[in-house]
């Protein structure tokens, strides 16, 4: 009986993981390495990523299977986002041919190492894009459209928020300015410059599952969304 139950649970868990990715929204992430923002990625996310909640909901499966089996099967479903959903689906340059000039401008490699942009896009595609339920061309096209539609530099400047060595801005004032200017809920991530001063590093905008409209989500602390 116990074995049969375990099998049934394994099958149902596997069934879930083999259908279309069941995420809740995208984080559209832009980074500010210099004067203007560049795209970091368009990342599918689960709205509920609380591990305790997850364990509660799957308590029976965990009890029957034991911790090791449970975590190996549930695996990435227990996390805050899906990733690497199809290793056979490599990014093909010809699929995004018409977008390369725009991608070079808006989605440049962010690494200081001399990595090729295509490698960066391929990585983002493999890790996040394969979980997006979008085709390659559409995935990159939607990210570019989001960037084109909302110029964060201009939106912040309009709100009086400009890079400065003397002026400091509260996180909430930046978050509010992005929300007002874009209509998207925004989360922020800061880092420190060479002098140890906190500075704005990445802006996460919550985008619906189609990668087009706004997805409403409570703003959270930046640490919770970094990866
Ligand atoms: C965004 O706005 C800033 C400030 O107005 C401008 O300098 C920059 O060229 C704009 N970026 C794009 C991609 O249009």
* Element at 127 (helix H, strand E): helix 117-127
Q: Residue 62 falls within a domain, yes or no?
A: no
Q: What is the pLDDT of residues 127-143, one digit of tens each?
A: 999 999 999 999 999 99
Q: State the Cα–Cα distance between residues 95 and 125, nearest whole angstrom.
A: 12
pTM: 0.74
Q: State the Cα–Cα distance between residues 182 and 127, nearest whole angstrom.
A: 26
Whether 128 is catalytic: yes
C-alpha angle with apex 120: 47 to 29, nearest 5 degrees? 35
Question: For the chain, what is the domain count?
Answer: 1
Residue 1 predicted with pLDDT over 50? no
Q: Residue 60 falls within a domain, yes or no?
A: no
Which are the contacts of 25, defined by CB distance < 8 A and separation ≥ 6?
44, 45, 47, 206, 207, 208, 209, 215, 217
Q: Residue 74 falls within a domain, yes or no?
A: no
pLDDT number for residue 24: 86
pLDDT number for residue 59: 55
Please tell me if the CB atom of residue 151 comes closer than 6 angstroms to any atom of ligand 1.
yes
Q: What is the pLDDT of residues 34-92, one digit of tens each?
A: 668 999 999 998 887 644 455 555 555 555 555 545 444 454 455 788 999 999 999 99
Which are the contacts of 224, defined by CB distance < 8 A and separation ≥ 6?
187
Structure tokens at 203: 């802006």
Residue 10 predicted with pLDDT over 50? no
pLDDT number for residue 190: 86
- Give 130 or 166, the one with higher predicted confidence: 130
Q: What is the pLDDT of residues 172-218, one digit of tens each?
A: 999 999 999 999 888 888 888 888 888 888 999 999 998 888 776 65
What is the whole-number distance in angstroms between the Cα of residue 150 and the centre of ligand 1?
Answer: 10
Residue 11 predicted with pLDDT over 60? no
Q: Residue 110, class by beta-carbon neighbours within 10 Å (0-12 exposed, 13-18 middle, 19+ buried)?
A: middle
Q: 40, 58, 150, 215: which is the annotated catalytic residue?
A: 40
- Which atom, in ligand 1's list, is nearest to the CA of 148? 13
pLDDT number for residue 195: 82
Q: Residue 8 falls within a domain, yes or no?
A: no
Q: State the Cα–Cα distance between residues 169 and 150, nearest whole angstrom.
A: 21
Q: Residue 56 falls within a domain, yes or no?
A: no
Q: Residue 163 falls within a domain, yes or no?
A: yes
pLDDT number for residue 214: 77
Which of 134, 148, 139 has its CA nearest to residue 121?
A: 139
Q: State the Cα–Cα distance between residues 20 and 220, nearest whole angstrom.
A: 27
Residue 28 predicted with pLDDT over 60? yes
Residue in 104, 108, 153 to alter for ligand 1 test, most ligand atoms within 8 A of Cβ:
153
pLDDT number for residue 42: 96
Q: Are strands 198-207 and 186-192 parallel, antiparallel or unpaired?
A: antiparallel
- Give 159 or 192, the one with higher predicted confidence: 159
Q: Residue 94 falls within a domain, yes or no?
A: yes
Taking CA atoms only, the protein residue closest to ligand 1 atom 6 is 154
Range of the domain at 180: 23-50+80-225
Q: State the Cα–Cα distance between residues 217 and 20, nearest whole angstrom.
A: 22
Please tell me if the CB atom of residue 36 comes closer than 6 angstroms to any atom of ligand 1.
yes
Whether 54 is catalytic: no
DSSP conformation letters of 172-193: HHHHHHHHHHHSS-EEEEEEE-
CATH number for 97: 3.90.730.10
pLDDT number for residue 165: 80
Please tell me if the CB atom of residue 50 comes closer than 6 angstroms to any atom of ligand 1.
no
- Give 169 or 116, the one with higher predicted confidence: 169
Q: Residue 104 falls within a domain, yes or no?
A: yes
């Amino acid at each position: 009986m116990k074995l049969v139950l375990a099998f049934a649970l394994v099958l149902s868990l596997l069934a879930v993981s083999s259908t279309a990715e069941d995420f809740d929204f995208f984080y559209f992430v832009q980074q500010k390495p210099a004067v203007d923002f560049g795209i970091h990625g368009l990342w599918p996310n689960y709205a509920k990523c609380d591990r305790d909640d997850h364990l509660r909901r799957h308590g029976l499966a965990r009890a029957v299977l034991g911790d090791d089996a449970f975590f190996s099967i549930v695996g990435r479903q227990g996390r805050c986002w899906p990733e690497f959903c199809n290793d056979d689906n490599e990014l093909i340059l010809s699929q995004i041919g018409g977008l390369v000039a725009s991608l070079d401008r808006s989605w440049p490699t962010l690494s200081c190492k001399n990595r090729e942009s295509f490698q960066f896009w391929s990585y983002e595609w493999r890790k996040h894009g394969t979980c997006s339920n979008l085709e390659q061309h559409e995935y990159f096209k939607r990210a570019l459209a989001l960037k084109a539609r909302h110029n964060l530099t201009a939106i912040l400047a309009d709100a009086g928020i400009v890079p400065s060595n003397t002026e400091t801005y509260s996180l909430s004032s930046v978050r509010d300015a992005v929300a007002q200017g874009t209509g998207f809920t925004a989360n922020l991530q800061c880092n420190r410059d060479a002098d140890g001063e906190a500075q704005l590093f990445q802006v996460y905008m919550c985008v619906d599952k189609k990668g087009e409209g706004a997805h409403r989500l409570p703003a959270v602390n930046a640490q919770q969304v970094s990866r």
